[in-house]
Every structure is written in structure tokens, then in C-alpha cells.
Structure 1
Amino acid sequence: MAAPSAGDRGPRVTGAARGGTGRPALARCVAVDPTTFAAAYWGRAPLLSRAAQLGAPDGFTDLFSPADADELLSRRGLRTPFLRVAKEGRVLPETRYAGGGGAGAEITDQVLDERVLGLYADGATLVLQGLHRVWPALIDFARALGATLGQPLQVNAYLTPAGNQGFATHYDTHDVFVLQVDGGKHWRIHEPVLPDPLERQGWGGRAEEVSAVAQGPPALDVLLAPGDALYLPRGWLHSAQAQSESSLHLTVGIRALTRYALVEALLELAADDRRLRATLPFGLDVADADRIGPELTDTVAALRAWLAAATPAAVAARLRERAWAASRPAPIRPLAQAALIAALDRDTRLVVRAGLPWQLVPDGERVALRVFDRTVTFPGACAPALRALLTGAVSRVGDLPGLEDDRDRIVLARRLLREAVAVPADDLSGS
């Protein structure tokens, strides 16, 4: 079960990743230092951080605001499932608020602002989903925070009319940061009924237990005001209700990678072992514990033997496929990038695309560059130049080491631009 060595890897961004105002992204979400957060709260306990503690008088309106929500709902051609609508704990069908886009738009699922108005005025909660893919400030913030946490994440916005509650008490199967943008919301938090639930262990299968626990005294009963933040580990029960005015908050969901993900990776790799792929005996009654016992003993023995030979490199390779595909690097400007490919010369300066995970590994007489969605191969002679650009040691095309002349350097630089690995040094998407 050998796997190629990891080779050179893209540097992991630490807690200094910036989140919109020049402040570290994590510092906008928690009022404790990263070490304390990791040791005392991460995956363990809720943390309430007030606006005054976070030191941000303007709160989170630079990331998203009610006016931004109106812009998305009315002028950006938003389509489902980027919008969900819920009322009294029930998600409404998309036909209540989406329809045809009109002449020239051959789509049938565009958000219709007049229908959204009617539902919202009638007390429904609007959930704008996947804002880390559609709203510029949140694209940058999510990338910075995800780099700090080392986990894929998503950002949704919840807009709730005054005095209303969109969802009943429930728990999430991912950690969340709640960032209160506008208005106030009353949160009631209860201890988990299932600590550390996996994604397939949603609260619906434990609805009665969740409801019973929700009737008891909460572990945390707070009113979030603009600029306040709340961290909740997965599994903690919660409900939230708007107060005398409408509420807007952002929920940053962290899709935690767990030890069970290691188990899944091991089991996927175990398919390489022929003993574990063997067919059970002809006519075996798998419901008979006495007859299945010997087969189980042999299978467990084979699995133990295989696990003893499992290597971290093979597991890391499988987890890389899963983790890297769950998030995207910084956006690029396709038209400007295409124009630069044609105009590039030895004085052009390039940097690696921000947020791009990469590994550079030998591949026979060639070198393989693994990125989040594919592997690109180059002649082995390109390895020093690739390493220099990817690590930031060099930015000017004419300074790329290990190649014979500027012609070869320009060919390599154009390939990196074409593959969206590199961007112009003065392009914010590469900062």
C-alpha cells in the first residue's frame, strides 16, 4: 500500500489570515487568543464574545448587511438553492418563491423578489446559502478563516422578521460561528443529546430526545446584539428568536474532519486487500450468529493484519482528495488572466493563487504538481523553478531558476497562468 512521498507542500496559513478589516479572521469571531480557543473551546464548549470584547465598533456590516441582502434578492439573479425559506420550523417549497427568469433567461428557479417580500412580511425566515461562493467580502473572509482553522467551511445568512423563529430547537453536525450583524436575537443553548455527531447523524432521528431536553433549563441563555459572536460546537442544541426588530446574522459552518474520516479512509484503502474482498461462503445465512462467527473472526484477523501495514502517507493521500475538494482557492479574473498569458514577458511578476493547496512530487523523469482539483505534470527540469515560485522565493519570470533561457521561463509561466496556479503579483486574488 505504498504511496508517493508528499514532496514539497504549500505552506499552511496560520491564525494571522486576514478577515476583511485587516484583523485576523479568527479574532473577528472569538474574544480569546487562538491558543486558548483551541485548548478550551474548539469542539468542546460554546463561547460567547461580545462586540466590545472583539474590538469591532462596526460589527460585521463590512461582511454583509441588510442592504447587501436586498441587493442579492432583487438585482443579482439569485437562484435556488442559494435561498431557502422557513416558517414555524418548516422549510417551504421552492415553488413558493422561485420561478422563471423572464425573456432571454431560460431558467425556472430564479428567486422572485415580490414573492420573497410576501413571505418575509408574513413572518418567514430567509436563509441565504453558500454566500462564501457569491458575495465578495465573504469569499475573502471564508478563505482566510478556513486557512486558519484548516477546515472547509460555508457561510449562510439568516434574516428573521421581528418576533419570529425560523427553526425549532435542533443541533448541527458541524461547528458554527454565529456573527450577529443587525438587530437582536435570543438564543437558548442546551447540552448535546449526542456529543460530536457525524454528518449522517442528524437531529431528525433524535427529535423526541431533542424536544425533551429543550424543555429543560438551558446551558446558555443570551441575547445577541449587533457585533456579538457565538461559537457552538457540533451537537449543541440551539434555537433562536428575533426580538422587537428584524434580525440578520451570519452562520459560518465548519465541516470538521474527524477521526471517523480516518476510519473511512482506511476502509476505502482496505479494498486493496484481496482477503477483504473475498466472497462469503455459498449459502451462508448471514442472519445466523453461529454461522457468521467464524467468517467474522477471519475477517477481523485479515483487517488487523492490513491495518498494521497501513501508512500515514496513503491515508493522507486519500484525505487530501476529500479535504482539498471541499473548498476553493481565491477567485481569478479569467479575461484579464487570458490577456496576460499573451502579453507575459521576463519582467512579469507572478505569485501563487491565494488559498491554493499544492504538493510538488517527483514523477519519474517528470514532476507532478497536485492542486485541489487535478494534477499537472511538467518536465523534471522545471522543478526548481516551480518550487521557487510556489514558495514565494521568486516572483519575476526572468528570475525563475534551473531553466536554460527566458524562452523556457516564459513557456512555464504561461502554463502556470493557464492552469490557474499563478496570478499576476498585483492581482488581489494572489495576495
Structure 2
Amino acid sequence: MVWKASDTSVIDIFSVAEFDRLISSGMTGPGRIRVALDGGIVPRQKYVLGDRQSDERISTYSSPQSIAKLTRQGATIILDNLHIFSGSVSSEVRRLEFETGQKIYATAFMTPAGKSGLQYHHDVQSAMLIQISGSKTWRCKSPVVTDPLLDEEFQPDRNRDESSKVILEATLHPGDVLWIPRGFLHSGVSTDESSLHVSFAFEVFTKYWLVEQIIKHLDRTAEHFTPLRQDLPWGTRMKEEGIKSVITDVIRDLSALLPEADAGGLLEKISQSMAGRPSEPFLATSSFAFPATITANTPVVMVTEAVSQVERVSGGKVVLTIGSFKMGIIGPAGKLIEEIWREDSTDPWCAKDLVPAVDEAFAVELVSRMFQEGVVRRHTAGPELEHLDPTDHGASPRSGQPAVPPGPEFP
């Protein structure tokens, strides 16, 4: 599927200049950068600073000169985990995760004019490609492996099917988007201009995965599962018939025992496995050392996707989950922040909107902390917001409540 993004600002999430900045920093070492040439992956020794095992201190840094040389030879430069290094891509990933409920990973691909990065291959995750600069022609074929599992990475010698027909051919220009479902063979070639695109891969969970998780998290201490703890007969591995026999026995045992599994206990453990580690918001770390000046009228916008969950707990406390960090707010301030979060609006607001439900000084302190944690950002357009004096009107435009002690709590 190919479409033109309705909002052309989508190409602003990344740029050739930022790509160059990341490469020239040398910080994009192994695990962060790959190089593809002539349809295959180039060994990392070809582009890291240390070319000997003893060069451990610098072997994790890439060599910009070596990468430039490979680029001149027609290599595609691939930046993995782009969402970790680029603030704008990080924000886009968090937004997509918020809207889809799926974990997402971003990767950038830069290919010189007239060159191809990788030969036909499939991915084990569905991907959304956004063309950032230049253009690239994509050709897609039907799957050789339908819905490949995570351990079924493309094997060139086994999975290639050169006889299959091209079912989609499209040239992407800046702002164009291509969706490639997992398993579909695809290959891209730059046109007469170089190409830069960003790929967003969507984490996949299958019923195979769920079966593995159910087996993994069975209550091993439960009495009815004790048969699974027994040794296999000695010598089983030596005889094919013996292996077949124990496989039959275990399948029979599982059929009888699985109905006894504690669905509630499995739910909690499997939910944790699916949730994984929440995406961290992109922080302006320097704001903790050099705090930005936030006043009662400073316009801010809620970064909805920075908060993965909002919970109400006992005592009227509202807890925001921000990556691996939790922020608790007690009293009416928590309720107001939850309302703003659920509105999911880009409309600006300010600390004074929380008055008189909470004290103005506390409102400013709270918004300042939310700014530091990446939960709100400055609204760049327009001057500071002007609000009616709450002492004259008895309520703020947002809260509509009389002044009460804030009872705040946030770490």
C-alpha cells in the first residue's frame, strides 16, 4: 500500500543534515549502524576505528571516513534504533506507539543514486516506510514464507524465489509512505538521485509466541504439573523411537494439564512480557542543570504520547507512567492533568489554568517538572497566554473550581 501523507511535515522528522551529524559523530558504532553493499552486509571491521581486537576503547566507534568511502562505492548506510538518537524520530515513534498500542523501532536508510541496498528479502515485522529525501523505486513480491515468525529471518539460499511476479512497483518521493506487511519480499533501488527514508517496524506477537509464553509461565510448583518435572528415560536421545514416544507422552500430558493452568496468574506475567520496557520520552537533560523559566502564563502543550498510562489510585492520587518512571500527583491537580492528557489536544495551556483548583506557585512548580520530564513542551507560536484574574472570577477557565489546598505529591 502506498499513499501520500496528508501532513507534509512528516518529512521533517529526519533530514540528510541530521543523518550526516550522526555519522560524523562516530558514536553510531556496532549495533547502531550497518552497511549494505552488493546485496549483502559489510563486516563491521571495514568501518570501525579499531581494526585490531586490542583496540577495544575505540572499536565501538565508527569511522566517518571509512563510511564515506563505502558510500562512494555505492553502499547503503543503515542507522538502527534511530529513535534513540533523534529527538524528532523519537517523538514520532512514541506517537505511533500511543495510537497503535504496538512497540515500534525506527531505522534510517541512505542509498546513493542508482544503487540498491539489499536484494529481495522479507522482514519478520510489518514496516511503514517514509521517504524523507530523494526518491527510491520499490518492488514487492508475494511471500515465500507466510507470516514469518521471529526466528524465521530471511535466508537467501532457502527463501529466494526469483520466479515470482512483482505485485507492486512504486517510486517514493518525499512525503510518500509505503506499507510492507511482514513476509512480503521487497527490494528498493534509488532513482537517478540518492535516497533517504525512515522505516518504522511494528513489533509482532503471534499465537506461536503466546503458546511459548503460556508454557514458560506455567506454575511449576502446582501439584498437577509435577509429571512435567520427571526425567526423560535414560538413553532417549540415542533412539528415534524413544524420542517419538516421549513427544507423544508430553503432548498427551499437556492436553490434560493445560486446562488446570491459572489464567489469572498467566495474564499478569504475559502482560508484562508484552508490555516490555516503555519507550523513554526524549528529554532535554540540560533542563535539570539549567532549568527553563516556566511562569504561570508560559504556554505549553501536553506531549500525550510521553505518558504511556494514567492511573487513579487510592487517596485520589493520579499516577503518570513516563517510560520507566512514575510521577504521582495528589489532589485536584492530578485530576486536571489527567483531563488534559485524555483530551489529546495540541491546544496550548498554562499553569494558571490549574488555578484556583491549586495554588499558583505549586501549579508553576508542577508544570516545570512536567517540562523537565518531557510530558509537556513549550508552545512555540504566540506570546504568553493571558488569563482572567482568578481572584476576580472565582475559577479558572479550565478548572471551574474554587481554590482548595493542592495536597501535591510528585517525586
Note if contact 1:351-1:390 (Cα within 8 Å) is conserved in structure 2: no
**Per-residue deviation at 1:147?**
1.9
Aligned-partner Cα distance in 1 for 2:169–2:327 = 55
Identify which range, 178-187 or 156-165, moves more after superposition. Answer: 178-187
Alignment of 1:61-80 (within 5 A): 61-75=11-25, 77-80=27-30
In structure 2, relative to structure 1, the CA distance for the partners of 1:359 and 1:262 (3 Å cut) is farther
SS of aligned partner of 1:325:
coil
In structure 2, relative to structure 1, the CA distance for the partners of 1:161 and 1:271 (3 Å cut) is same
2:159 to 210, 214, 230: 210
What residue is the counterpart of 2:68 in the other structure? 117
**Per-residue deviation at 1:237?**
0.5
Aligned-partner Cα distance in 2 for 1:425–1:249 = 27
Identify which range, 127-136 or 284-293, moves more after superposition. Answer: 284-293
Alignment of 1:7-406 (within 5 A): 47-49=1-3, 51=4, 54-55=5-6, 61-75=11-25, 77-99=27-49, 107-204=58-155, 207-211=156-160, 213-271=161-219, 274=222, 275-276=224-225, 278-281=228-231, 283=233, 286=236, 287-290=242-245, 293-306=248-261, 309-311=262-264, 315=267, 318-325=270-277, 327-329=279-281, 331-337=282-288, 354-355=304-305, 356-360=307-311, 362=313, 369=319, 371=321, 374=324, 382=330, 386-392=334-340, 396=351
**Per-residue deviation at 1:368?**
9.2
Note if contact 1:385-1:400 (Cα within 8 Å) is conserved in structure 2: no
Aligned-partner Cα distance in 2 for 1:348–1:383 = 23
Letter in structure 2 aligned against 1:88? D
* Higher RCO structure, 1 or 2 (CA under 8 Å, sep 6+): 1
**Per-residue deviation at 1:421?**
6.0
Aligned-partner Cα distance in 2 for 1:374–1:326 = 6
**Per-residue deviation at 1:305?**
2.1
Aligned-partner Cα distance in 1 for 2:371–2:133 = 41
**Per-residue deviation at 1:146?**
2.4
Aligned-partner Cα distance in 1 for 2:102–2:173 = 27
Matched pairs, number: 360
**Per-residue deviation at 1:243?**
2.6
**Per-residue deviation at 1:117?**
1.5
Letter in structure 2 aligned against 1:276? F
Note if contact 1:153-1:254 (Cα within 8 Å) is conserved in structure 2: yes
Letter in structure 2 aligned against 1:232? I
Note if contact 1:351-1:389 (Cα within 8 Å) is conserved in structure 2: no
Aligned-partner Cα distance in 1 for 2:73–2:139 = 24
5+ unaligned residues in a row in structure 2: which ranges? 51-55, 237-241, 342-348, 381-411
Aligned-partner Cα distance in 2 for 1:368–1:280 = 48
Aligned-partner Cα distance in 1 for 2:20–2:66 = 13
**Per-residue deviation at 1:235?**
0.6
TM-score, normalised relative to structure 1:
0.68
Letter in structure 1 aligned against 2:120? T
5+ unaligned residues in a row in structure 1: which ranges? 1-46
**Per-residue deviation at 1:77?**
4.5
What residue is the counterpart of 1:36 in the other structure? none
Aligned-partner Cα distance in 2 for 1:349–1:68 = 28
TM-score, normalised relative to structure 2:
0.71
Larger radius of gyration: 2
SS of aligned partner of 2:166:
coil
SS of aligned partner of 2:12:
coil
SS of aligned partner of 1:244:
strand
Note if contact 1:284-1:291 (Cα within 8 Å) is conserved in structure 2: no
| Residues 259-295 of structure 1: per-residue CA shift (max 9 Å, x gap) | 4444344334323552336421573565343455445
What residue is the counterpart of 1:4 in the other structure? none
In structure 2, relative to structure 1, the CA distance for the partners of 1:74 and 1:193 (3 Å cut) is same
Letter in structure 1 aligned against 2:169? D
**CA RMSD of the aligned region, Å?**
4.2
In structure 2, relative to structure 1, the CA distance for the partners of 1:293 and 1:128 (3 Å cut) is closer
Aligned-partner Cα distance in 2 for 1:183–1:396 = 43
In structure 2, relative to structure 1, the CA distance for the partners of 1:135 and 1:185 (3 Å cut) is same
SS of aligned partner of 2:66:
helix
In structure 2, relative to structure 1, the CA distance for the partners of 1:244 and 1:77 (3 Å cut) is same
**Per-residue deviation at 1:376?**
5.2
In structure 2, relative to structure 1, the CA distance for the partners of 1:285 and 1:189 (3 Å cut) is same
Aligned-partner Cα distance in 1 for 2:286–2:219 = 44
